[in-house]
Amino acid sequence: MSRWSQLILCLMVVIAVMPSWVNAQGSLENSFTTDDGYLSFDFPRGWFPFEVRGGGGAVIVDTSTTLDAEILNPGSILITILGPRYLNSFYRDTGQELADYFAGVQTTFVTRSSNDYQFGEVAAIEINGQPTLMAAGTGTQGDLLLLVIESPTGRIVEFGIYAAGEADLHDPTILDIAATIVYTGPPVAQFVPTPDAASLFAENIVWQVVQPKDNSNAAGTELDVVADMVVDATETTLYVAGGTGGVMAFDVDGNVQGVLPAPLVEGQAANIVAIAIAADGSLWVADAQNYRLHHLDTNGTVLQTVGQSVTGTVNGEAGVFDGLGPRQLRIGPDGNLYVINYDTGRVSRVMIFDATGVFLREFDLAVLESSTGQDRFTIGPDGNLYFAVDKVTQSRIVVMDTTGQVVSEIALEEGDGGAPVEGALVVLEDGSFWATDSYHGILYHYAADGTILSAFGQGQRTNLTAPFGPGEFSRTTPDGLHGLVVLANGDLIVGDMNSFYAQLVRIRLDE
């Protein structure tokens, strides 16, 4: 495989059809629109565009030999255009200043390609009246021009790669194409159910916010990823772990308060997959991208970064994140941080740090005998660790003390789809607990002995990529129903997502 093909695959771009191409550079006589209808542009006659896998962008090539060349042939060019829908998975727009966003795109581009590009000075221009930043880059296999356009409906990235020394030949075409790019974007969907909504569950919904995951805007206030959630002690602010989008802050009425940007480690944005709140109101987040824990104040300022990543270890080095890295995080009544480091091919570990981030000790989770190895956990009011273990024979809650010794096991009564607890878990003061079944899209309230006290919701029945209706949750996905908090009055706030939409829902139940 050529280095160009490696780069494209690295950017998740896959060719579906490979017809013959004609090398031609001239006026922009043809038009292309992505399948979702959001992104369109014009391109020269004889060139061939194809959509990136998953949608949201396109690649244009001018010759059939471009993708197979170790070094681009003279006159050849490869242009990539990425709309906000794709960019959210490449480098998330959280409302950074355009210059900061451009620098992040440059860093991400270099780290995800096989060519060590060196960029020159950044130039500020306008394209169709929109602020645009541009920089040329050089590398051993070719040169390139990188642009970021501040479109009203979301930032657009365009870059063209071509043979060394051919900027004068290709840059005008790249800029001409940029001037034709139009991104409409999906409409923001927001549902506020009323008691007469056509749903069995509508009367229990206090509020519901549903938004497309692929939307992006300069304010950076779009709900995209819901990996975990926590509410502060006064139940004023709900913090949502939003992956590379940082931490989104809402009030408990569903209104956006702001965004805490994802911390950077050597230019690489954090992938925030878990969040916990300390006694002083500050936040700790788990960064699965950089194998770190970050300590943040409520303004998003990084107070401290803890941890290090070592790859290639055989048995795991004490206190060092490896494998899949830190994936779950909770703070106990003792103030210590309890972090699960997942691994592939090796037993996962609970790593314990004190309130200042100093590593104390760890223990493995071999005793769980889990069928997935990635079971959800929480810390109860009693200070013990509760693991929701999804096992084919019998789903159960395993309770451990802080040294890793099993205190008890609770067999779970089966609900409508069995009892696979794969989403989130909250233990209450009375010993009962709420758990989410992300495989079937149901919330369960269990008594302390594992019997079901109540259940709420249903999984999406037909289109699993559609917006959520009242009382509808994702199903058959390990990524859904990962957010759950229980307020003092008994209300639930649930965070959920399917492939295309994310939602927050506040539920009031009369049990």
DSSP 368: G
pLDDT tier, 309 (very low <50, low <70, confident <90, very high otherwise): low
Cα distance between residue 493 and residue 486, in whole Å: 7
Which of 9-23, 78-92, 386-400, 473-487 is predicted least confidently? 9-23
The residues near 222 (Cβ < 8 Å, ≥ 6 apart) are 188, 211, 212, 215, 216
Burial tier of 302 (Cβ tally within 10 Å: 0-12, 13-18, 19+): middle
Picking from 382, 302, 294, the residue whose alpha carbon sits closest to that of residue 339 is 294
Among 18-32, 83-97, 142-156, 344-358, the least confident range = 18-32
3-state secondary structure at position 264: strand
DSSP line for 303-314: EEEE--B--S-S
pLDDT given at position 46: 85
pLDDT for 195 beyond 70: no
Residue type at position 32: F
Q: Provide the pLDDT for residue 16.
A: 33
Q: Give the amino acid at 347.
A: V
Structure tokens at 403: 């040294």
DSSP assigned state of 189? P
- Rounded to two decimals, the pTM is 0.65
Evaluate if residue 54 carries a pLDDT over 80. Answer: no
Evaluate if residue 371 carries a pLDDT over 70. Answer: no
